[in-house]
């Protein structure tokens, strides 16, 4: 279809009105700042989260293996009853070093704590429930914790019968003598009756963003 004369006048008129409308002055500084902020949002968090996840995973695997080695050595040397005092995370010796060098906070939290200091905080609960309701979703997770820090979490399961010596059934897995020793140290203990494979707790690593940025 060929454009009619009227259409051409209409288009021309429109272009004229459009180009003749006075333009607002360009706020170059505002534009530059907004662009920079948008780029920061787009690039830094993805990098930060990825590196934070990597760091969280490294911390958990180093801490978990140091802790397990300490526990196993204590059991060999002192038996189950003698190992009870080696079950605090700080016994592995690794937490203090990482806390000093990176400023991270390493803990294990749970809904049924032996040590009441290890109970889930309000903000842990949402993460915990996601793990508890989707048992196959047992991977590490990185999230923003607050303006300064990230939080890395990873589920802890009852990996073997070794754990049942102190977290299984009292009377069968846990000897009455060992349990009275546990109760004397932890009068409000809730951490019993687990079976191999059960979801027991989660690692909670609070990582300052500064520490992550220093690794980027
Ligand atoms: C020798 C006894 C013993 C054995 C074996 C043992 N634990 Fe524990 N566990 C404890 C004690 C005692 C505590 C409390 C530590 C504290 O004061 O922080 C504890 C605490 C925990 C916590 C922190 C939450 C809480 O309830 O306070 C988790 C998670 C945990 N144990 C998991 C395990 C797993 C998984 C295994 C097997 C690899 C295991 N434990 C083996 C005695 C034991």
Which pLDDT value is given to residue 91?
81
Which pLDDT value is given to residue 144?
93
Are residues 75 and 87 in contact, defined by beta-carbon separation less than 8 angstroms? no
Mutation choice for ligand 1 from 64, 74, 91, 114, CB with most ligand atoms inside 8 A: 114
Are residues 166 and 84 in contact, defined by beta-carbon separation less than 8 angstroms? yes
Q: Which atom of ligand 1 is nearest to the CA of 157?
A: 35
Are residues 90 and 107 in contact, defined by beta-carbon separation less than 8 angstroms? no
Which pLDDT value is given to residue 8?
46
Which pLDDT value is given to residue 18?
45
Q: Which atom of ligand 1 is nearest to the CA of 182?
A: 12
Q: Is 107 in the pocket of ligand 1 (CB under 6 A)?
A: no
Q: Is 165 in the pocket of ligand 1 (CB under 6 A)?
A: yes
Verdict on whether the full-model pTM lies above 0.85:
no
CB atoms within 10 A of CB 45: 14
Q: Is 115 in the pocket of ligand 1 (CB under 6 A)?
A: yes
User: Which residue, 103, 3, 10, is CA-closest to 55?
Assistant: 103
Which pLDDT value is given to residue 94?
84
Which pLDDT value is given to residue 73?
94
Q: Is 153 in the pocket of ligand 1 (CB under 6 A)?
A: no
Q: Please state, in angstroms and rounded to a whole number, the distance separating the CA atoms of residues 148 and 103.
A: 12
Q: Please state, in angstroms and rounded to a whole number, the distance separating the CA atoms of residues 90 and 107.
A: 10
Q: How many CA atoms lie less than 13 Å away from 66 in the CB half-sphere?
A: 17
**What are the boundaries of each domain within the chain?**
31-213
Which pLDDT value is given to residue 11?
47
For atom 39 of ligand 1, the residue with the nearest CA is: 163
Which pLDDT value is given to residue 42?
52
59: which 2 tokens?
Answer: 């911390």
Which pLDDT value is given to residue 168?
98
Q: Which atom of ligand 1 is nearest to the CA of 109?
A: 24
Ligand 1 midpoint to CA 211 (Å): 29
Exposure class string for 85-100: b at 16+ Cβ within 10 A, else e: ebbebebbebbeebee
Which pLDDT value is given to residue 20?
44
Which pLDDT value is given to residue 44?
57
Q: Which atom of ligand 1 is nearest to the CA of 110?
A: 24
Q: Please state, in angstroms and rounded to a whole number, the distance separating the CA atoms of residues 149 and 209.
A: 5
- pLDDT per residue as tens, the chain (216 positions): 455 555 545 444 444 444 444 455 557 777 677 666 655 555 458 889 999 999 999 999 999 999 999 999 999 999 999 999 889 888 888 888 888 889 999 999 999 999 999 999 999 999 999 898 876 667 899 999 999 999 999 999 999 999 999 999 999 999 999 999 999 999 999 999 999 999 999 999 999 999 999 888
Q: Is 150 in the pocket of ligand 1 (CB under 6 A)?
A: no
DSSP code for 57: H
């Amino acid at each position: 279809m060929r454009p009619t004369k009227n259409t051409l006048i209409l288009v021309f008129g429109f272009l004229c009105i459009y180009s003749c409308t006075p333009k607002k002055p360009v706020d170059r500084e505002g534009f530059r700042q907004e662009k920079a902020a948008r780029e920061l949002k787009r690039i830094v968090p993805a990098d930060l989260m990825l590196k934070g996840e990597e760091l969280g995973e490294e911390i958990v695997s180093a801490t978990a293996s140091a802790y397990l080695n300490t526990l196993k050595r204590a059991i060999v040397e002192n038996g189950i009853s003698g190992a009870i005092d080696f079950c605090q995370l700080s016994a592995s010796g690794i937490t203090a070093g990482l806390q000093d060098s990176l400023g991270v906070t390493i803990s294990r939290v749970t809904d049924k704590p032996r040590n009441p200091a290890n109970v889930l905080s309000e903000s842990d609960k949402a993460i915990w429930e996601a793990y508890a309701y989707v048992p196959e979703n047992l991977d590490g997770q990185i999230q923003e914790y607050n303006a300064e820090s990230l939080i890395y979490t990873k589920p802890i399961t009852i990996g073997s019968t070794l754990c049942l010596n102190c977290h299984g059934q009292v009377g069968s897995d846990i000897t009455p003598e060992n349990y009275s020793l546990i109760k004397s140290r932890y009068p409000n203990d809730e951490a019993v009756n687990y079976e191999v494979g059960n979801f027991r707790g989660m690692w909670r690593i609070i990582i300052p963003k500064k520490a992550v940025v220093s690794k980027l």
